[in-house]
Amino acid sequence: ETGVTQSPTHLIKTRGQQVTLRCSSQSGHNTVSWYQQALGQGPQFIFQYYREEENGRGNFPPRFSGLQFPNYSSELNVNALELDDSALYLCASSPAVEQETQYFGPGTRLLVL
Amino acid sequence: GDSVTQMEGPVTLSEEAFLTINCTYTATGYPSLFWYVQYPGEGLQLLLKATKADDKGSNKGFEATYRKETTSFHLEKGSVQVSDSAVYFCALSGGANSKLTFGKGITLSVRP
C-alpha cells in the first residue's frame, strides 16, 4: 500500500511569486488536509478537501487555495508569496469512515526569499 | 477555540530511562486525542490515538490514557531507546471536518 506522497520535496521562490504543491493521497483515502508547519512550531490547519469540495478552512488568507481531483490527489496554491510563507507544508489523507485519523506525507519545504 | 498545551522542552534522557511527556487540552465536546512523532527531516507519523474517555492508546512501547477529568493525554514509555529521539506532538481532533489542532511539540533526545 502506497502512503501519502508529496512533490516537490524542496522549493525556493522569491517574494510575490506563486507556487503549487502537490499531494497524492493514500490508497482508499478520499479526504485530504493541508497544514503549514513553521520552524519549531506545530502544524497549523490550512484547509481540507472531501469529494473535490473544500470541507473546512483554517485562519489563512484567500491567497492560499486548493483543489482536489477525481482520483483524490490534491494541490495547494499560494499566490503573492510572502517571506512568512517559508515553512514545511504537510499533506495528510484519511478515509471517509475515519476522517479524524490522518496520515501524513513527508512534506514540501518552501523557502521564500 | 480548541487548544493543546505541551510541556516545555527539550527533554534529554539516558537510554532505558522512563519517559513522561505532558499534554493537556481545551476543547468543546468530546475530541479524539493523538500523539504524532516527527523524525528529523520527515513528516509526521501517527504514534497512537484514543477516541473516548479512559481509552488507552499504545504503540511501540508508548502509552497514553485519555483523562477527561483532567483534560490530559500524557505520553509515557517505560524504557526509551536512542532511536526514540524525535519531536513529539500532541493533537486533538474535533468539529465537523475533524481538523487536527497540534501542540507546539517537544524534542526528545536519548543518549546512549
Each residue of A23-70: pLDDT tens digit? 999 988 999 999 999 998 999 999 999 989 999 999 999 999 999 999
pLDDT of residue B13 exceeding 90: yes
What distance in Å separates the CA atoms of residue B83 and residue A48, rounded to the nearest whole number? 33
Q: Sign (positive/negative) of CA torsion A1, A105, A35, B72?
A: positive
What count of other Cβ atoms lies within 10 Å of the Cβ of residue B89? Answer: 26
Sole residue written with cell 495528510:
A92
What distance in Å separates the CA atoms of residue A94 and residue A31, rounded to the nearest whole number? 5
**Using an 8 Å Cβ cutoff, are B98 and B10 in contact?**
no
Nearest residue to B84 (alpha-carbon basis) of B52, B54, B106: B106
At B93, the pLDDT band (50, 70, 90 cuts) reads: very high
CA A50 to chain centre: 13
Check if A41 contacts B (Cβ < 8 Å).
yes
pLDDT, position A33: 95
Nearest residue to B43 (alpha-carbon basis) of A2, A108, A38: A108
Check if A43 contacts B (Cβ < 8 Å).
yes
The whole-angstrom distance between B93's CA and the closest CA on chain A is 6
Q: Tell me which amino acid residue B73 is.
A: F
Check if B39 contacts A (Cβ < 8 Å).
no
Collect all residues of chain B within an 8 Å Cβ-Cβ radius of residue A40. 104-105
DSSP for residue B9: -
**What confidence tens digit (pLDDT) does each residue in B25-84 have?**
999 888 999 999 999 888 899 999 999 999 999 999 999 999 999 999 999 999 999 999
3-state secondary structure of A26: coil
**Using an 8 Å Cβ cutoff, are A5 and A105 in contact?**
yes
pLDDT, position B94: 79
Nearest residue to B72 (alpha-carbon basis) of B97, B45, B103, B96: B103
Nearest residue to B52 (alpha-carbon basis) of B69, B36, B66, B72: B66
Query: Nearest residue on chain A to B31, judged by CA atoms?
Result: A100
pLDDT, position A28: 87
pLDDT, position A1: 60
In this predicted structure, which of A3-12, A73-82, A91-100 has the lowest mean pLDDT?
A91-100
At B98, the pLDDT band (50, 70, 90 cuts) reads: confident
3-state secondary structure of A103: strand
The whole-angstrom distance between A95's CA and the closest CA on chain B is 12
pLDDT of residue B97 exceeding 70: no
